[in-house]
Amino acid sequence: MATYIPAEAQTAVDKHWMRLALSMAQEAYDASEIPVGCVFVEQTEPGTPLHASTNGYGRMIAKSRNRTNELRNATLHAELEAIGQILREQDHKLLHRTTLYVTIEPCIMCASALRQVGINHVVYGAGNERFGGCGSVVPINDEPLLKYQKAYTALGGVFRDEAIMLLRRFYMTENSNAPQPRKKQTRILKTEIPPVPPTSRMHTPNGSVVPSPSITPTPIPPQTAHSTCPPDSPVPVSFTPTLENV
Q: What are the residue numbers of the active site?
A: 79
Neighbouring-strand partners of residue 209:
203
Pairwise CA distance, residues 165 & 159, whole Å = 10
* Cross-strand bridge partners of residue 219: 192
Q: Are 101 and 38 in contact (CB under 8 A)?
A: yes
Distance CA 42, CA 50 (A): 8
**8 Å CB contact between 128 and 244:** yes
Backbone φ, ψ for residue 224 (5° rounding): -115, 5
Nearest 5°: the CA angle 124, 202, 137 is 60
> Please, are residues 98 and 40 in contact by the beta-carbon 8 Å criterion?
yes
